[in-house]
Structure 1
Amino acid sequence: MNAYLHALCWAFAILGLAVLNVLEVISDGAAQTLFTTLPILAVISVTQRGRCARRRGC
């Protein structure tokens, strides 16, 4: 999976979270925390994809 598709999956997850928050399935406090952490995890995940630290298996 290339970086664009990987980022698109993260975008759908964040949009799904927004929809669930609007429908009041997820509380505002939990949504606020997830709206802060999901983009950070997405950026880390997308930028580290394809890179390899100096390890034996790489």
Structure 2
Amino acid sequence: MLRHLVLHVLDTRGISTSEDDRADITACTRPTTLVAWLQRAVTAGSADTADRLIT
């Protein structure tokens, strides 16, 4: 569920994500990591890219 929320927020906000980033998000099983990525996706400036958010 969290994986889908991260991707949804990134897509809705128009923040570009590479196929590799999307694969990393989809494969992630650590809730703490997913929550951190979700928080970054929600608060990021619209010009930010997933490379800076998904680390």
- When the two structures are superposed, what TM-score results if normalisation uses the length of structure 2? 0.35
Largest Rg, 1 or 2: 1
> Higher relative CO (CA 8 A, sep ≥ 6), structure 1 or 2?
2
